[in-house]
Structure 1
Amino acid sequence: MATPDFVAKGYRNGVPMGGALRGAPDGGAPSFMVQAIRDPDGANLDRVQMVKGWVDAAGETHERVYDLAVSGGREIGEDGRAREPVGNTVDIETATYANSIGAPTLQAHWTDPEFDPAQGAFYYVRVLEIPTPRWTTHDAAFYGVPLPDSVPPTVQDRAYTSPIWYMP
């Protein structure tokens, strides 16, 4: 999967983010190539997730999250989720963190294990960074004031892609 023409292969053989996949590919479940790279000035990556949503025959909405790639040698269970957290390097007193956990890049190839070719759905990717200090933690360290009790001192920033719509 780690090839210099990763993006070109995706556009040549697939549906780009924001696009529509009309009909099941070759009668089977859709597969997704995913690659995430951390911001050069930002935190390392914790995990890459696929979020699938659909509306059932009764009109009820559903959403399911699958972990596709996780950092730190953690394992993804049979249910598609990694239960072990990435860890936390945040020093709350100084409002700093270390990029000593997580990964600078994560990639995966995933096929929907519960695909129903007759059911419309959407898929989008969510990428989570390792924990970093919340802005209130930065302010508390800079101004020498207590942390607020109403919010946690750390945050895990996330990035989201545009969805790919599956239409039977």
Structure 2
Amino acid sequence: MTWWPMASANGGKLPQANKGQTPTFLIAALKDPGGANLDHIQIIKGWLDSSGLTQEKIFNVKWSGNRKMDPEGKLLPVGNTVNLETAEYTNTIGSPQLIRVFKDPSFNSKERAVYYLRALEIPTPRWTLYDKVRFGIEMDEEVPLIQQGRAFSSPIWYSP
């Protein structure tokens, strides 16, 4: 069964689950028309466990290309097309849209939880790289020259 969150000013609320129900989400992200392609999308789940302690888990839901998870369960990098000499990049990696259905594999109907979506773009030049190229200056090696833009959804809350 798919639940549709009820809209509110602070995100959405899932109705109380009946026995055996698990939240199921249709996840979709589209790149900005003039922006970078998408690397991957994630569901971030936070919850209060039976001891009242806060917990968090990040689920990689959908990613671009034919990448696989590494043995530790981490997603391998999408790649990088940023030219450090010109501060340009190409959209030859990543995907313009990512869509998938996600069902929480660790749902416990007795625990409060919150879900939200995080979408990550492919690597792009950071403002420091643009300054480096424009002004012909060297940056300290600790200064990041590349970034991965991110977008977040509003939260969806579950209360037993």
TM-score, normalized by length of structure 2? 0.89
Return the match for 1:28 from 1, 21, 25. 21
Cα distance, 1:78 vs structure 2: 9.3
Alignment-derived partner of residue 44 in structure 1: 37
| 3-state DSSP of counterpart to 2:130 | helix
User: Where is the strand percentage greater, Structure 1 or Structure 2?
Assistant: 2
Kindly indicate whether the alpha-carbon contact (under 8 Å) linking 1:53 and 1:63 is maintained by their aligned counterparts in 2: yes
Unpaired runs of 5+ in structure 2?
none
Once the two structures are aligned, what percentage of the paired residues are identical? Answer: 45
Deviations 1:64-86 (CA, angstroms, capped at 9, x unpaired)? 0001100011135798x552110
Unpaired runs of 5+ in structure 1?
1-9
Counterpart of 2:120 in structure 1: which amino acid? Answer: L
Q: After TM superposition, list the pairs within 5 Å mapping 1:152-163 onto structure 2.
A: 152-163=144-155
Q: Does 1:134 align with 2:126?
A: yes
User: Where is the helix percentage greater, Structure 1 or Structure 2?
Assistant: 1
Alignment-derived partner of residue 14 in structure 1: 4
Q: CA, structure 1 residues 84+135, in 2 after alignment: closer, same or farther (shift >3 Å)?
A: same
User: For 1:16 and 1:130, how far apart are their aligned partners in 2?
Assistant: 32
Return the match for 1:105 from 97, 105, 113. 97
Cα distance, 1:60 vs structure 2: 1.9
Counterpart of 2:23 in structure 1: which amino acid? Answer: P
| 3-state DSSP of counterpart to 2:55 | strand
| 3-state DSSP of counterpart to 2:139 | coil
Return the match for 2:49 from 56, 70, 87. 56
Q: CA, structure 1 residues 113+19, in 2 after alignment: closer, same or farther (shift >3 Å)?
A: same
User: For 2:132 and 2:70, how far apart are their aligned partners in 1?
Assistant: 39
Kindly indicate whether the alpha-carbon contact (under 8 Å) linking 1:74 and 1:82 is maintained by their aligned counterparts in 2: no
Kindly indicate whether the alpha-carbon contact (under 8 Å) linking 1:137 and 1:154 is maintained by their aligned counterparts in 2: yes
Q: After TM superposition, list the pairs within 5 Å mapping 1:89-128 onto structure 2.
A: 89-128=81-120
Q: CA, structure 1 residues 75+103, in 2 after alignment: closer, same or farther (shift >3 Å)?
A: same
Counterpart of 1:114 in structure 2: which amino acid? Answer: S
| 3-state DSSP of counterpart to 2:131 | helix
How many equivalent pairs are there? 156
Kindly indicate whether the alpha-carbon contact (under 8 Å) linking 1:70 and 1:82 is maintained by their aligned counterparts in 2: no
Alignment-derived partner of residue 75 in structure 1: 68
What is the Cα-based RMSD across aligned positions, in Å? 2.0
Kindly indicate whether the alpha-carbon contact (under 8 Å) linking 2:70 and 2:76 is maintained by their aligned counterparts in 1: no
